Amino acid sequence: MKLTTRFACAFLALAMAPGLLAQGYPVKPIRFIVPFPPGGPTDTHSRWAAQQLNVAFGQPVVVENRAGAGGIIGTEAAARAAPDGYTLVGGNPGPLTIAPSLRKQLGYDPVRDFAPITLIARNASAWCVHPSVPVKGLREFIALAKARPGKINYATPGVGTVGHLAIEHFSTLAGIRMNHVPYKGAALYTVDLLAGNMDFAQIQIFQAAPYVREGRLRALGVTAVARSPLLPDVATAQEQGLKGYSSYNWNGVLAPAGTPRAVIDRIHAVLTKSLTNPEIRKQMETIGYEVAGDGPAEYTAFIKAEIEQWAKVAKAAGIQPE
């Protein structure tokens, strides 16, 4: 009888554990891994999320930049962390939805090894050229590229980045062939584009807009499904004949798989509350971000769909996993 009672009590304690954990969570600092260097979009959004959690929980949320291999190193570290709610990671398409198509061996499974929490925001880019290039829109640029196959150089932040596959997708749809020049970041190739030393590049809209307004760059199109209020006179890729085309960079928050659902829900509730704040939404939208706030189920489905999308793009472009 005593054994039965003891077993029943133990079973009840286990059943209540997730709820009790959420009520007392967190009791110590939270580590927030950013798989990219400081200053970029993933770092910015991750630090914003860390600040919201710090204020809500009253516990330090320590941002740890673990850059390398296009975000793979930091993302893998998060996948291997204990699923106790005390390790989070900033999500980005490179290591989560593009890497599976470009890497034969990846030290984690983007779907199986993570518990998505919230998709924070996404932002589109502008396809830009130096004003000396004699084209004013995508149709003219495509005609120029067809007349000069393989001779137009395009810059990206590196192999396997959103910029790389987005432009390869554009090239496939347009039936053109360009020469890929990978850089170690967008800032470096933006300098070359401004100097007229690069032919074509994809730059996030909020970063490109000032140069376009000053006449230092010409935007041929934007990768969003709708025109950007930051560049209202620049047509989308779809408006210019690339049916169904869109491309976004995005950032979110994930935890290692197995993290208690009650903890996931609590973190999501804090971030969603902030993302529905009109003032915060306005601040993000002013610099070109589309605020998301998707929950765990929606974010999971989004990641799965993106993995399939980029796999098709890589295959169509003839990009082989290495």
Q: Which residues of 199-236 are buried (b: 16+ CB within 10 A; e: fewer)?
A: bbbbbbbbbbbebbeeeebbbbbbbbbebbebbeebbb
Confirm if 36 and 42 have CB atoms less than 8 A apart: yes
Confirm if 191 and 218 have CB atoms less than 8 A apart: no
Q: pLDDT tens, 92-113?
A: 999 999 999 999 889 999 999 9
The phi, psi pair for 262, rounded to 5°, reads: -60, -35
Q: Domains of the chain (ranges plus CATH)?
A: 30-122+249-316 (3.40.190.150), 125-222 (3.40.190.10)
pLDDT at position 2: 41
| Enclosing H/E stretch for 181 | strand 179-182
Mark the ranges of the chain whose per-residue pLDDT is less than 70. Answer: 1-23
User: 259: left (phi > 0), else alpha (psi -120 to 50), else beta?
Assistant: beta
- The DSSP 8-state label assigned to residue 321 in this structure reads P
pLDDT at position 21: 53
Q: pLDDT tens, 226-281?
A: 999 999 999 999 999 999 999 999 999 999 999 999 999 999 999 999 999 999 99
State the number of CA atoms in the 13 A half-sphere of 104 facing the CB.
3
Q: How many CB atoms lie within 10 A of CB 23?
A: 10
